[in-house]
Structure 1
Amino acid sequence: MTAPAAPGPDHAHALAAERVRHALGPVTVVRSTPLSGGLYNSARLLELADGRHLILKTAPTVTTPALTHEQGLLGTEALFHRLAAATGARVPTVLHHQPAGPDTPAEWLLLSYLDGTTWDAARDRLTPADRAALRRGLGESLARVATVTGPAYGYPQPAAALTAPDWPSAFTAMLHAVLADATRFAVRLPAPTALLAGLPERHGHHLAPVRRPALVHFDAWEGNVVLTRAADDTWHLSGLIDGERAFFGDPLAELVGLDPLGTAEHDPDLMAGYRSVTPTLTLDTAARARLALYRIYLALIMRVESAPRAYEGSFATWLDTWSAERITEQLAVLDDLAG
């Protein structure tokens, strides 16, 4: 499976300029630079004649193979940024969102540009004190985001059809959807599908205590956190980007999205920042069981998406191994907690 050929630089620049004029009126785009790092949507950094810098994100066409929940992701991102901004969290400003339609084969989103560098790019320049302060700030920011309450549980875009009036039902639908995607794309799983599909029912008593559909970014790893460096060499959070994977659900799921390869709940600085806003956050048996369920869910997404996106080489090999080990590990955690 191969992706469709990307438009040439002249065409891409002209299209970007046309979209900016559609959103903002008679402005001039003097430079349009493609950005790397995204695995689903494409992004370009735009420089306007008046000195402003903007980000234009474009989704794949609606006919491109995708997972069930990957419907209207840029609409989700626009919603996330608007809701998160109202809490005081630093996020890009939404300038325009254009859904896919008869005259728009792929949805697009125009955002303000957050100046700085991503955390993962700056990692080697951070001191332990920098990292501790930044983790506290990130925990506080995400706790504020989680104060937003959605209208229902699950993914907000109607096209995905993955919402429900309670969290156990929504999470069951979300998990079953990615398992159905695995079957659709012939992805081999490291555990029987029936066993994985039955996890929400088996552990439903741990999901039931979630009584409010909180806004969850679910992808706030260091590549989606922007930092700036002050004149005194201290680092500060510039903002949170790429809210396209957001949903309404258990705020505890944010800890899983923070560090796909780690355990954020064991980070004292991050937890101190989070509890400065939400001091009632607890990590009892029910919470640990839910974290294990969400880790399995995220590992399944990462494993299954490799098929429609046609990952290859060492990254594909690593992802296959890591996701299998992660799912097996977290199933064991659930067994231990149940035992």
Structure 2
Amino acid sequence: MPHDDVRTPPLDALRALVAPVGALAAAERLAGGTFATTYRVTLEDGRRVVVKTAAADPGALLSHEHDLIRTEAEVYALAAGHPALRMPALLHTDFTRTVLPGDVVVAAHLDGVPWTEAGFGAADEDPRAARAQADLGAVVAGLGALTGERFGYPQSPALQAATWRAAFTAMVTALLADAERAGVPDVPAARVRAALDAHGAALDEVTVPRLVHTDLWPGNLFVDPATGALLGVIDPERALWGDPLLDLVGADPVGDGVPAAVAGDLDVTSPGAAARLLLARMWLGLVMTIEIPVRGYVGDWVPDHEAACRRSLARALDGLGV
């Protein structure tokens, strides 16, 4: 969800960070994120780049969020050899935490506008939206074609495992611990644990760790507003190796729909897949509910957003029969 905190950018730091790419001419902070801080920098030769950093303060992070900018850099570097993923070129990194307090990636600036600002109608009425959905489906398929050695988060050894059941269980258990540590009220921990116990066999159906972006909501997708063509995908800092069905939930964070064009050839109807979709929505509902008080979100949008997250979590648990 967006925020309105757009402060004067730290020009000296940005000048140093983009120096390996070019000389800074101007910079502005971009609104629209709740985790990272992002700046658009114009270079003296006219090129534009994006500088992104995130807090390193463990008190403001969930267990899986440590060193996420390093995951973003890793995914961008991997995507350089896979143009079908439509991610910007990685231009520079700084993990010293001396120029800015957190890790930093410098990436190419994308053409187009965020899908959320393109003015598309429903996919069955607007061919631009249908094109964007089809292109997103191709990205989901491209991500799933890339395989890893272990399941879980690349930067979090404690949240990795040899099986998807073990990794997913560790991810969810860490979220429940985050909620308890932060004093988040009314988290249905017992029902969540019951869901993991009841549907472990469905998780065991996932035998190959596949690259999952996890955050393919329209705000992270840049499109051509005239044609609907998907021009770029950003913000893979929460990427992990796991079940591609997580990307279908991440593309529609508080809804229930799985557009056929986005799902592509993924199985979404077998009993095991249907259970994993609900487990994925349970997981994402937990993330989105717990992060609100942990990061101290404020604004008129927060109550409605929290209510939507909790409704999504409750629907998933109801669907899982716990």
Q: Do both share a fold (TM > 0.5)?
A: yes
TM-score if structure 2 supplies the norm length?
Answer: 0.91
CA deviations over 1:221-245 (Å, ceiling 9, x no partner): 100000124xxx4231111111111
Q: 1:115-126 maps to which residues of 2 (within 5 A)?
A: 115-124=111-120
Instruction: Report the secondary structure of 2:91's partner residue.
Output: strand
Out of 246, 249, 255, the position equivalent to 2:248 is 255
Q: 1:179-198 maps to which residues of 2 (within 5 A)?
A: 179-191=176-188, 193-198=189-194
Cα distance change on mapping 1:58 and 1:64 into 2, 3 Å: farther
**In 2, distance between residues paired with 1:98 and 1:150?**
25
Shift of 1:213: 0.5
Indicate the residue corresponding to 2:233 in structure 1: 240
Question: 8 Å contact 1:179–1:197 — kept in the other structure?
Answer: no
- Which amino acid in the other structure matches residue 281 of structure 1? D
**In 1, distance between residues paired with 2:67 and 2:52?**
12
1:68 is aligned to 2:63:
yes
Indicate the residue corresponding to 1:178 in structure 2: 175
Q: 1:61-210 maps to which residues of 2 (within 5 A)?
A: 61-88=56-83, 89-101=85-97, 105-124=101-120, 128-158=126-156, 161-191=158-188, 193-210=189-206
Shift of 1:63: 4.6
Instruction: Report the secondary structure of 1:123's partner residue.
Output: coil
**In 2, distance between residues paired with 1:39 and 1:293?**
24
Question: 8 Å contact 1:43–1:55 — kept in the other structure?
Answer: yes
After TM superposition, the structure 1 stretch with the greater mean CA deviation from structure 2, 104-113 or 287-296, is: 104-113
Out of 314, 318, 321, the position equivalent to 1:328 is 314
RMSD over aligned CA atoms reads 2.1
- Quote the sequence identity (%): 33
- Which amino acid in the other structure matches residue 307 of structure 2? T
Cα distance change on mapping 1:228 and 1:200 into 2, 3 Å: same
1:224 is aligned to 2:220:
yes
Shift of 1:319: 2.6
- Which amino acid in the other structure matches residue 243 of structure 2? D
After TM superposition, the structure 1 stretch with the greater mean CA deviation from structure 2, 131-140 or 103-112, is: 103-112
**In 2, distance between residues paired with 1:330 and 1:286?**
14
Indicate the residue corresponding to 2:261 in structure 1: 269
- Structure 1 gaps of 5+ residues are none
1:296 is aligned to 2:282:
yes
Question: 8 Å contact 1:43–1:57 — kept in the other structure?
Answer: yes
TM-score if structure 1 supplies the norm length?
Answer: 0.87
Q: 1:273-288 maps to which residues of 2 (within 5 A)?
A: 274-275=264-265, 281-288=267-274
- Which amino acid in the other structure matches residue 19 of structure 1? L
